[in-house]
Structure 1
Amino acid sequence: MARVLLIVGGGIAAFKAAELIRLARRRGHSVTPVLTAAGAHFVTPMTLAALAESPVYTSLWDLKDETEMGHIQLSRAADIVLVCPATADLLAKMAAGIADDLATTLLLATDKPVVAAPAMNVRMWLHPATQANVATLRARGTTVLEPTEGEMACGEYGPGRLPEPADILAQMPLSSPTLVPSGRAAEVDVRQNQRPSLAGTHILITAGPTHEPIDPVRVIANRSSGRQGFAIAAAAAQAGARVTLVAGPVHLPTPGGVARIDVESADEMLTAVESALPCDAAIMVAAVADWKVRSSATKLKKNGGPPALELLPNPDILATLAQHPLRPRLLVGFAAETDDLLDNAAAKRARKGADWIVANDVSGDVMGGSHNQVHLLTAVGDEAWDSAPKDEVARRLVARIAEELNKQ
């Protein structure tokens, strides 16, 4: 079970930290609380210590602990660091790398996964400064959960409420994955909850469509829902990987333990992908538009008939990664086809320089649907997989990826 270092920020939602400790310990996890000065105005060290059955750390200047470099030891001894509630102030300090008390020093010194559960006034959450800080943290690999929507303690309504403790725990990668020896991952039966291990790896995934602007109100888009890519991101995180998910414009919740970067266009997606390198494996699931438009700065009018749109080629993200100086050890592409599935997918694999291609027939309701039937094309041949829910397809693909990375 996991060792959780819990940093309790200052806010009315701090009282929920007590329930979170109780639930985490009931599930077998240990919790070491760190209480900020602001958090101490809402919950007492005695309460947290009694529930955690652990000392509560409050000061960077504890002589006994700091003669032993206590803040370094605390940051290393945990399996995961949870900031709950993560106030606007804490998120800003985390994004800026400020270390002016025990909590922020721990966050800067840790090399373990960090999860932040925000809680604040709706206007504070939606403020551009907070959103920029959240985007920065997610890009660096911090998991920032989405706050829930509802009535605030101040009487306002909107997003900014702390998720319930059970929901926070459900989104945290707390279970240690089962190690799978090299060469055996393909034998893993995911239906029996045996997980492959991607511990110590960084997996980069793209998902969803891209929107290419025609003018300020119109776009070229496609029907991709993002569900398959998000399912793969969730499965990789559950297998112990550090996961970066570059998502096109979709309305899907971020999987637990996943760092998400939201983009709109293919150009933005390529920039985000390159900034996330290096990685051990890249799985390019996104349905990137092949073409973009030389867009208009003003809304195009219907007067005079339909406008002539000048189409320009979009960057080829998969091919770019194949030739990149920081090319991943394993590069996986997706081929969505409506005819000649295997021939087109094999040609794409050779043309783009990918190691694997996952080919699926999208002539039905795959795009937006809950199931998928795919072929996995590798250097040694074609594996035909039965139709299955997208999360099961994701787990099977992650098992194959773990097998391949463990062999290298």
Structure 2
Amino acid sequence: MCALFQRLVGRKIALCITGSVAAVECVKLARVLRRLGADVTGYMSQGAQDIIHPNAVEFATGQAVVLGLTGRVEHLRGFDLVIVAPATANTVSKIVHGISDSPVTALALASKCPVIIAPAMHLEMYENQIFQSNFEALKTRFYIVEPLVSEGAAKMAPVDEIVDAAVYCLTEKDFSGKSVVVTAGPTAEPIDPVRVITNRSSGRMGIALAREAWLRGADVTLVYGPGSVPAPSKLRTIDVESASEMADAVATVSDCDFFIGAAAVSDFTTKAADEKIQSRKGGFNLRLTPTPKILANLCANTVKVGFKAEHGLSEAALIQSARRLLVEHQLDLVVANDVSKDIFGSTETEAILVDGSDEKIIGRIGKDEAAKLIFDWLGEL
């Protein structure tokens, strides 16, 4: 299982379903949460029961569904997390005004654990001034997964976004109040309007690091080259293309607590031609010049993590190369990779963590798990 989602194992989650047609997605949501190790209990309003049968929710959760409040005081059960999805305009407004006339609203109001709200309704209702006022009030206490506005509706967020929110709410915020800048992806140095010098980096490792920082409560900025993995919408992202653009972007946010240079920045650039170089002319020569070194221009009090990619080196030589980078740029940690081991574009990596006094060899693990290990190390500083 992905390290990211191991945070859900054994957690008690209440899935509260209300009367939107998006309720049909909750069977899938419940199944995903259970597959990730969560213990899920369904709560349904009467409106939800008019759309999907409680038996479907019982099947998905593996437990009896709470359809009303009884002497067993179901709204006072001890959950680790409550998810209200979908949350109708009616439900949102009742929660804001303290109306607990269903098992869903009663549980949301009584819970002392984190509560996630995922709204769903027609666009006219979502845009109504009264609803928006209620919605803003809701944001002061609850975690909101914003709806997807399309086709005349404010649709419930996709299941994976709600699961991400669950992981976020159940992750310790040990980096709260800290600013983290992560560079990710390749850079592309233009040769002409068509061709570029680039590399095979997908950006997956850098995005995993930025996501881990976000999960742990940091204020995250992702400076992202043209990678093949989409940047999560929840992250503040500065899109760049060339090494100089990346250096300029980092300069605007360089006064940070932690900097992680996971991008595969081109070492060289060239003067780009104004027009496409015609292939029929035969070969042509490129004059390459060094690109700016981003690690050399960071604030002195920033904790700095660099990445060193080599190809086909022995373990000892890879550690030696990482130590040279560590000393040259006065880094706190270097993550060294041998890219001959098919890690470009993969969901897995192999690395050696090298600091001023020690090294730690990481076997082949998921990049999300590697990101967690790196932040565990940073958290001990």
Q: Could you state the TM-score of these two structures normalised by the residue count of structure 2?
A: 0.64
Distance 1:394 1:44 in 2: 36
Q: 2:325 aligns with which of 329, 348, 353?
A: 348
1:171 aligns with 2:169: no
Q: Partners of 1:217 and 1:88 in 2: how far apart?
A: 42
After superposition, the C-alpha distances for 1:147-175 in whole angstroms (9 at most, x for unaligned) are xxxxxx69xxxxx97543x3331122543
* Equivalence for 2:149: 119
Aligned-pair CA distance for 1:78 = 11
Counting only pairs closer than 5 Å after superposition, residues 270-309 of structure 1 correspond to structure 2 as: 270-309=247-286
Paired with 1:44 and 1:202, the residues of 2 have a C-alpha distance of: 33
Q: 1:256 to 1:174 in 2, by over 3 A?
A: farther
The 8 Å contact of residues 83 and 116 in structure 1, kept in 2 or not, is answered as: yes
The answer for the alignment partner of 1:357 in structure 2 is: 334
Q: Distance in 2 between matches of 1:207 and 1:31?
A: 32
User: Is 2:369 the partner of 1:398?
Assistant: no
Matched position secondary structure for 2:297: helix
Q: Distance in 2 between matches of 1:296 and 1:278?
A: 35
Query: Do the aligned partners of 1:115 and 1:257 also contact (CA within 8 Å) in 2?
Result: no
The residue that corresponds to 1:53 in the other structure is 105
Deviations along 1:114-173, whole A, 9 cap, x unmatched? 75443225xxxxxxxxxxxxxxxxxxxxxxxxxxxxxxx69xxxxx97543x33311225
With structure 1 as the length reference, what TM-score do the two structures score?
0.60
Distance 1:200 1:235 in 2: 15
The residue type equivalent to 1:334 in the other structure is: F
Aligned residue in 1 for 2:305: 332
Runs of 4 or more off by more than 6 Å in structure 1?
17-20, 22-25, 46-49, 77-83, 85-89, 109-114
Say which SS state the counterpart of residue 162 (structure 2) adopts.
helix
Confirm or deny: 8 A CA contact 2:181 2:260 kept in the other structure: yes
Letter in 1 for 2:133: L
Separation in 1 of the partners of 2:170 and 2:208?
19
Distance in 2, Cα, partners of 1:49 & 1:30: 17
**CA 1:88–1:245 in 2, change beyond 3 Å: closer, same or farther?**
farther
Cα deviation, residue 294, structure 1? 1.1
In the TM superposition, residue 54 of structure 1 has moved relative to its aligned partner by: 6.2
Q: Which residue of 1 aligns with 2:133?
A: 102
Q: How does 1:141-152 map to 2 (within 5 A)?
A: none
The alpha-carbon deviation at position 49 of structure 1 amounts to 7.5
CA contact (8 A) 2:119 2:155 kept: no
Deviations 1:204-230 (A, max 9, x none): 211111111111211111011222222
Distance in 2 of aligned mates of 1:88 and 1:274: 41
Cα gap change, 1:55/1:238 in structure 2, threshold over 3 Å: closer, same or farther? Answer: closer
Deviation, 1:251, is: 2.8
Unmatched runs of 5 consecutive residues or more in structure 1:
3-13, 57-76, 94-100, 122-152, 155-159, 180-196
Secondary structure in 1 aligned to 2:279?
coil
The whole-number CA distance in structure 1 between the counterparts of 2:122 and 2:292 is 39
Q: 1:55 to 1:162 in 2, by over 3 A?
A: closer
Q: CA–CA distance in 2 between the matches of 1:103 and 1:386? A: 50
Cα contact 2:210–2:220 (8 A) shared by 1:
yes
- TM-superposed deviation, 1:240: 3.1
Percent of aligned pairs sharing the same letter: 31
**CA displacement at 1:343 relative to structure 2:** 2.0
Q: Give 2:353's aligned residue.
A: 376
Task: Give the distance between the partners of 1:299 and 1:161, measured in 2 at CA.
Answer: 45
How far apart, in 1, do the equivalents of 2:123 and 2:190 lie? 33
Partner Cα separation in structure 2 for residue 380 and residue 361 of structure 1: 21
Instruction: Please identify the structure whose Cα radius of gyration is greater.
Output: 2
| CA deviation vs aligned residue, 1:175-233 (integer Å, no higher than 9, x gap) | 33347xxxxxxxxxxxxxxxxx3233222211111111111211111011222222222
CA gap of 1:174–1:334, structure 2 versus 1, over 3 A, is closer
- Residues 391, 78 of structure 1: alpha-carbon distance in 2 compared, 3 angstrom cutoff: closer
Cα distance change of structure 1 residues 293 and 113 upon mapping to structure 2, 3 Å threshold: farther
What amino acid is the match of 1:169? I
The reply on whether 1:232 has 2:284 as its aligned counterpart is: no
Tell whether the 8 Å contact from 2:80 to 2:113 is kept in structure 1 after alignment. no
Return the offset for 1:86. Answer: 11
Please give the alpha-carbon distance, in whole angstroms, between the structure 2 residues aligned to 1:161 and 1:306.
54
- Judged with a 3 Å threshold, the aligned counterparts in structure 2 of structure 1 residues 342 and 30 are, in CA distance, closer, same or farther, namely closer
Deviation at 1:105, TM superposition (A): 6.3
d(CA) in 2 for partners of 1:377, 1:223:
24
- 1:241 and 2:241 correspond: no
Q: Which moves more between the two structures, 308-317 or 290-299?
A: 308-317
